[in-house]
Copies of this chain bind each other. A is one copy, B any other.
Amino acid sequence: MVDIITRDLSHPSARAIFQAARELHPSISLSTVYSTLAMLKALHLVKELEFEGMDNRYDMDTESHVNLLCTRCGRVVDFDFVPPLQNEVETLTGFTISEGRFEYYGICAPCRS
């Protein structure tokens, strides 16, 4: 189960993981998917992404990067980048930052053509 999740780099939803897992373990339940995800989240092996109006998605790449969401087909694409201003933001706002989230919404090339 853990393998099924961590090897799926397509930013799947819980339901998509559930369906994929079913093909290997037909008796698996959605509860198991959620509890495994909770465990992996706690270990910082997956990052939970919330996109407006869609199910949560799970990202196996926990490094800091931008996620691009296609609002037409739901595809999520990673884009590496180092957020440049965390220190500056911390000094100017007084926050101690533990995590960042950077997302763009748009239409991907395949959907546009």
Interface contact B105-A98, CB-CB below 8 Å: yes
Chain B nearest CB, measured from A76 CB (Å)? 11
CB contact list, A25-70 vs B, under 8 A: 48, 50-52, 66, 68, 70
Bound-state Cα–Cα, A66 to B102, Å = 9
Bound-state Cα–Cα, A50 to B50, Å = 7
Query: Within the complex, which residue of B52, B79, B84, B106 is in contact with A96, where a contact is CB–CB below 8 Å?
Result: B106
Q: Does A86 contact B (CB under 8 A)?
A: yes
Binds B, one of A3-11, A12-20, A87-95: A87-95
Q: Which residues of B contact A107 (CB under 8 A)?
A: 95-96, 98
Which 8 A-B residue pairings sit nearest by Cβ, starting from the closest? A94-B109, A97-B106, A101-B103, A95-B106, A50-B50, A99-B105, A97-B104, A96-B107
